[in-house]
Chain A
Amino acid sequence: MKSLSVVLKGIDKISIFLGKLFSVTTIIIMILQVTEIVLRYILKSPTIWIWELCVYLYGAAFVMAGAWVLQEDLHVRTDLLINNLNDRQRAFLDMIMYPPLVFVFIFVMTPAQISAAIHSFLIKETSFNAWGPPLYHFKAILSFGFVIFGLQAAANWIRSIVLVFKGVEI
């Protein structure tokens, strides 16, 4: 039990660390966009790469922060029923509903994302825009985001099982 708790807390830490790490991209996007404005409107020499890089930064950040949002249980849910339940009853519902919805989603999407990333690596895929950077790093980050998301979901599910059967939160 103790070692299980250590593992679950470790997963939490990974989710939080990656979420916080990738939140820095928002500040980087701000700085890049302002630089582009200076280059374009004041120095009259716009770049072809800043806006595209900003899009990739935003995309990577939203996927990677998903696990953090999950860890803090911020994803919106309807509380019509669960407002009247105690923690253990809520955990029971999570225990039942995770496999058909959460795990189906993650078990199908994660391998599909990974194989798309591998395919992208094999064909050395690049973007179709003027700058045309390689896309496979980006796709690898997206699939990594799904892996972390899945890990965090598994951790939440195990927690709900322990709460239902042992009555303790770990």
Chain B
Amino acid sequence: MTETGIVIAMFFSFLFSLFLGTPLVYVLGGLSIIFGFLFWGDTNIIALFVRTTTKLATTTSYVCIPLFIIMGAALEKSGAAAELFESIHVIMGRIKGGLAIATVIICALMGAATGVIGASITIMGLMALPAMLKCGYSKTLASGVVMAGGSLGSLIPPSVILVVYAGLSQLSISKLFAGGMGSGLFLTFLYIIYIVVLCIIKPDVAPPITQEQRESYDKKELQKMFWSSFVPTISLIVAVLGSIMSGIATPNEASALGALGAFILAAFKKKFNMKMVMECSYNAIKTTSMVVWIILTASMFTSVFLGLGGGRVVTELIMNLGGGNRWLILAIILGIIALMGLFLDSTGTLMIGVPLFTPILYSLGFDPLWFGIIFAVMIQLDYLSPPFAYAIFYLRAVAPPEVTTKDMYYAIIPFMLVQALSIVIMCFFPQIIQVLPSMVK
């Protein structure tokens, strides 16, 4: 078989096995062994796989993944997120679209507290969505805000995606975190602009809360909630992210402090007990194991794929399609990443996409850090894009039945457009991504 033939065979067996519903880990692991044996023609490939396992199990930078997950889970279980919502919701509810804006802001804050997106969509779906519906918000705006805001967690640090990206690309975690922060804030800002504009055009999609509803809240209790949930949560987030970006602590140390801080916060709220600690650690280890097993098998897969000439085939294909125009080539690559997101999860997309595309883009003079963040924004877009929108799956599980899945598909479209617009803007103004990292030592 020719080189191109082998690469095409590998690609299609990959798609076919995924389509039959075999878990991604086995598709990647099984195919890399089969193709490695058949076409590499050398059993040394197995020794390479064993070394990959040892290397991954001893990767220092991945130690922070379970700890960031614990931090998020502990904050969630402490009830801090719920109180955060209650207190901001009354303050912001007075203006048109205020609840939607509050939801986006709280999602951004929660994104800064956890590394995984499922948690914030679940919480906001349980609290913010019914509150907005009760207030007379349109179903599409209310559910769209929860999904778009909730997936900000994949971009706003600490984000598991950025940790994995750092491990793959040898870029510094703190610089990637700083870049993710810049673009995450920018996206939050764009979402808010969209809500404000929508409220001006169609005021009845997001009415303010009534006097009656406002009075149903006890002011003193609200103030107490604000001081006991908003201030400590924000301080914890600032301490963790600040210590990483200023270079005082390594991401691993900061994640340990963050997890401990979240437990202490839970203890103050009398939610701390052995069961809660164990649940947080179960949650953390299951998610970490899921992600790192995919990283392991995807590393095996890409080393076989690249070794058999897959990189050359893909590069030639993209270069020919792009015809030498670097922006067209970037657009093609982003298109491919969007397609990959339709059938791969975020870790799979990263593991396969980074080794394939970064050499092409680096050779065309794109900034590695800038592209890293653009990649992360694309992955966030993957969470939102149907038919396999994880955001919709998470929200479906908790949304009231009157919000149909069809509503959610409609709801997500404007936010996907905002997201696409943000990528275009970040191409023209790379400073949005680059300013914060340049301040990081």
Any B CB within 8 A of the CB of A168: no
Q: Is the CB of A30 within 8 A of B18?
A: no
A62 touches which of B29, B54, B292 (Cβ 8 Å): B292
- Our pick among B70, B252, B281, B348 for the contact of A54 (Cβ within 8 Å) is B252
Min distance, Cβ A67 to any Cβ of chain B, angstroms:
9
B44-52, B153-161, B303-311, B403-411: which one contacts chain A? B44-52
A interface footprint on B10-29 (CB within 8 Å = 1, 0 otherwise): 00000001111111111101
B21 in contact with A90 (CB, 8 Å): yes
Q: How far is the CA of A94 from the CA of B22 in the complex (A)?
A: 7
Which one of B58-66, B80-88, B190-198, B213-221 is at the A interface?
B58-66
A130 at the binding interface (Cβ < 8 Å) = no
Complex interface: chain B residues within 8 A of A54 (CB): 63, 252
> Which residues of chain A come closer than 8 Å to B70, judged between CB atoms?
26-27, 30
Tell me which residues from 140 to 186 in chain B have a Cβ below 8 Å from any Cβ of chain A: none
Where chain A touches its partner, the secondary structure class is helix
Among A32, A61, A63, A105, max chain B CB count under 10 A is at A105
Interface size on B, residues (CB 8 A): 60
Judge whether A58 and B253 touch: CB under 8 Å. no
Name B residues whose Cβ lies closer than 8 Å to a Cβ of A: 17-27, 29-31, 33-34, 46-47, 49-50, 53-54, 56-60, 62-63, 66-67, 70, 249, 252-253, 255-257, 259-260, 277-278, 281-282, 284-286, 288-290, 292-294, 297, 343-345, 348, 387-388
Query: Chain A interface (Cβ within 8 Å of chain B)?
Result: 19-20, 22-27, 29-30, 32-34, 36-37, 51, 54-56, 58-63, 65-66, 68-69, 72, 74-82, 90, 93-94, 96-98, 100-102, 104-105, 108-109, 112-113, 116, 138-139, 142
A-B contact pairs, 12 of them (CB 8 A): A27-B277, A34-B257, A60-B57, A62-B285, A62-B293, A63-B289, A97-B21, A97-B26, A102-B22, A102-B29, A105-B30, A109-B29
